[in-house]
A and B are shown apart, each in its own frame.
Chain A
Amino acid sequence: MSEKIIEVKDLVKKFGNFVANDHLTFDVNRGEIFGFLGANGAGKTTAIKILTGLSKPTSGDVQVAGVNVSKYPERVKKKIGYMNQSFSLYDDMTVRENFRFYGGIYGLSKAEIKERTKHFLTKLNMEAYGNRMLKSIPLGWKQKLAFSVANIHNPGVIFLDEPTGGVDPITRRQFWELIYEAADRGTTVFVTTHYMDEAEYCERVCILSEGKIKALDTPVKLKQDFNTTNMNDVFLKLARNVE
């Protein structure tokens, strides 16, 4: 049995009477690419906010990278990376300045920041764009940059909340190459998505509906269980059961 990096037991999050996360229980293994799927409003973003220490759970036990997140939300923040659907780097700063800022915030040394920036720019083939303002860079590239910035401190786990929203298919594929590379280096990737083809890229997926986990397994196993050939049908069958 491989080592667990995320352990969630009976996670409940309520907003007034509305139950956004209804007794979620799941584990994620170190180095795994874990997909978190669900329709809009299924509770994906709520759960990811709790896992990253942005939001407090109503009840339940959440351990990320060995830290009890609800008790010590600040401790877990050193060990994780995060990128969300709304693009969140600074538009009025250059690519390099964004790397420098986040590198500095994560406590990297000057030399480390320089080295990491160079590494990512080379990998993304963007050496020529280092001194360009972020606002002048196309969205797909920005998303890849945001992913790299979220990785600048080599976190053990990286949380991606719909990272490929609004991005063209080629860039999406390149983006997933980046995810695979990170996973190869041992980084755990926790990713939420709407795109069912992306679900196929995950090692295991968890399908959420109305705040509850409806299915959790490898894509291959899920397709067998639901007797379909693709994840899209799995998702539709689950969604139909709900209605």
Chain B
Amino acid sequence: MRRIRYILQKEFLQIFRDKALLPIIIIIPIIQLVVLSYTATYEIKNIRLVVVDQDHTPDSRALTREFTGSPFYKLEGSLPNYAQAFHLMQKGTADQILVIEPHFEKNLETTKKASVQLITNAINGSAAGVMQGYGVSIINGFHNNIQIEQHPGQAKGLPIQTDTSYWYNPELNYFTFMVPGILVLLVSLIGLFLSSMNIVKEKELGTITQLNVTPINKFEFIAGKLIPFWVIAMADLTVGLLVARFWFDIHIAGNPVLLLFVTSVYMVLILSFGLFISTMAQTMQQAMFISWFFLVIFILMSGLFTPIESMPAWAQEFNRINPLAYFIKINRMIMLKGSVFSDIRNEFFILAGYAIAMLGFSTLRYRKTS
């Protein structure tokens, strides 16, 4: 066991002397966390709106104000007719057109039907859905207010009143949703790449042969390779959590110690997986591509960007062996829901079992005698 100390000392020396590796370990995660969290958002701001007001009454102007007063909208222009407005959309300078028809106010007051038309640029389908949703909710809000104003004391017009409240992330803040997931992504990425390149690097340099003629034992070797990266990944996560807390102002609902504890087990799994790849690969290039292959599949299927529940059944089955899926789930449960250990027990034990198995595989796969 005393040998592990010497292996650790060597590995840390080599990591901290590697001028290319150090920025990857320290700076890139923070930059990525900050950049990705701002960019990986479904929120749409600054929707460029063109209004075609053919009514010119206090009510039509009030509706326009509802739009321009919203933080999501920016008034691109007011034009007299639809053809001119549509020209702007074709040019790509308008995202949405609001057409208020003549006699809008008159129709509203006489309780006849009053129509507005909302045209949305749907080149990006999911963005269009979001813009459409914003627009409709503003119009509905305006409609309700009109009803209350016109018929004070009367019951509201809509027979069923939906009162929506969002739990665990009440403001539907995308940072709150994305940052925990991106943190998971970053430690997995760093952990898997660093570990999968490590042993194969010694193979390429030929230094592994010199190690293999020493009495170093397999477990000491794997442990000596795993622990430095484990320490680095845990440090990265801790820094990431601090950035999440103080930069993005995300309050961790659960216990951060529990989160670090689960991460510590998860990292053993990811690093063992990387070392396993490293014992199999003959060149660093192979190791790189194999890690990349698994990581991309794991990430895209993990539920980080799209909900697992809406994936086909086979994909959901696949996620039973996807370590990222378990960890992202646990991570969000702790960070957003404030889950305690008993809530995440099942996922945790699966991860722990998986970690032990993978550690075993990589130790067995490392052969000193061919």
Do A88 and B206 touch across chains, with their CB atoms under 8 A apart?
A: yes
A72 and B369 alpha carbons, distance in the complex (Å): 10
B207: chain A residues at CB < 8 Å are 88-90
User: Do most interface residues of chain B lie in helix, strand or loop, or is the interface mixed?
Assistant: helix
From the candidates A84, A88, A100, name the one contacting B6 in the complex (CB within 8 A): A100
From the candidates B3, B210, B217, B368, name the one contacting A89 in the complex (CB within 8 A): B210
A73 and B369 alpha carbons, distance in the complex (Å): 7
Within 8 A of B (CB), among A43-68: 52-56
A176-215 interface mask toward B, CB cutoff 8 Å, 1 = contact, 0 = none? 0000000000000000000000000000000000000000
**From residue B20, how far is it (CB to closest CB) to chain A in Å?**
12
A80: chain B residues at CB < 8 Å are 213
Contact stretch, chosen from A102-110, A121-129, A228-236: A102-110
B216: chain A residues at CB < 8 Å are 105
B215: chain A residues at CB < 8 Å are 74, 77-78, 105-107
Of all chain A residues, the one with the shortest Cβ separation from B210 is: A88
Do B217 and A107 touch across chains, with their CB atoms under 8 A apart?
A: no
B205: chain A residues at CB < 8 Å are 88, 91
Do A54 and B214 touch across chains, with their CB atoms under 8 A apart?
A: no
User: Do most interface residues of chain A lie in helix, strand or loop, or is the interface mixed?
Assistant: loop
Within 8 A of A (CB), among B25-79: none
What is the interface size of chain B, counting residues whose CB is below 8 A from a CB of the partner? 26
Do B14 and A84 touch across chains, with their CB atoms under 8 A apart?
A: no
A87 and B205 alpha carbons, distance in the complex (Å): 9
Residues of B near any A CB (own CB < 8 A): 2-3, 5-7, 9-10, 13-14, 17-18, 205-207, 209-217, 368-370
A55: chain B residues at CB < 8 Å are 369-370
**From residue A235, how far is it (CB to closest CB) to chain B in Å?**
27
Do B370 and A56 touch across chains, with their CB atoms under 8 A apart?
A: yes
A102: chain B residues at CB < 8 Å are 214
8 residue pairs A–B, Cβ–Cβ below 8 Å: A53-B368, A54-B370, A55-B370, A97-B10, A101-B6, A104-B2, A104-B3, A105-B7
**From residue B312, how far is it (CB to closest CB) to chain A in Å?**
45
Residues of A near any B CB (own CB < 8 A): 52-56, 73-74, 77-78, 80, 82-84, 86-93, 97, 100-102, 104-107, 159
Of all chain A residues, the one with the shortest Cβ separation from B207 is: A88
A22 and B2 alpha carbons, distance in the complex (Å): 41
A102 and B210 alpha carbons, distance in the complex (Å): 10
B369: chain A residues at CB < 8 Å are 53-56, 73
From the candidates A88, A92, A104, name the one contacting B14 in the complex (CB within 8 A): A92
A90: chain B residues at CB < 8 Å are 10, 14, 207
- Given contacts A88-B206, A92-B17, A93-B14, whether A107 and B2 have CB atoms under 8 Å apart is yes
A83: chain B residues at CB < 8 Å are 210
| 9 interchain residue pairs of minimum CB distance | A104-B6, A88-B210, A82-B213, A86-B206, A78-B215, A77-B215, A73-B369, A105-B214, A101-B10
Do B213 and A77 touch across chains, with their CB atoms under 8 A apart?
A: yes
**From residue B200, how far is it (CB to closest CB) to chain A in Å?**
15
A74 and B215 alpha carbons, distance in the complex (Å): 6
Do A87 and B206 touch across chains, with their CB atoms under 8 A apart?
A: yes
B214: chain A residues at CB < 8 Å are 77, 102, 105-106
B14: chain A residues at CB < 8 Å are 90, 92-93
Of all chain B residues, the one with the shortest Cβ separation from A81 is: B213
**From residue A189, how far is it (CB to closest CB) to chain B in Å?**
15
Of all chain A residues, the one with the shortest Cβ separation from B370 is: A55
A84: chain B residues at CB < 8 Å are 206, 209-210
> For A77, A89, A159, which residue has the most chain B Cβ atoms within 10 angstroms?
A77
B206: chain A residues at CB < 8 Å are 84, 86-88
> For B6, B7, B14, which residue has the most chain A Cβ atoms within 10 angstroms?
B6
Do B368 and A73 touch across chains, with their CB atoms under 8 A apart?
A: yes
A56 and B370 alpha carbons, distance in the complex (Å): 6
A54-B213, A105-B211 are known; give 15 further A-B pairs, CB within 8 A.
A53-B369, A54-B369, A54-B370, A73-B368, A74-B217, A78-B215, A82-B210, A82-B213, A84-B206, A86-B206, A88-B205, A90-B14, A93-B10, A93-B17, A107-B215
A82: chain B residues at CB < 8 Å are 210, 213
**From residue A89, how far is it (CB to closest CB) to chain B in Å?**
7
A78 and B217 alpha carbons, distance in the complex (Å): 11
A87: chain B residues at CB < 8 Å are 206
A104 and B4 alpha carbons, distance in the complex (Å): 9
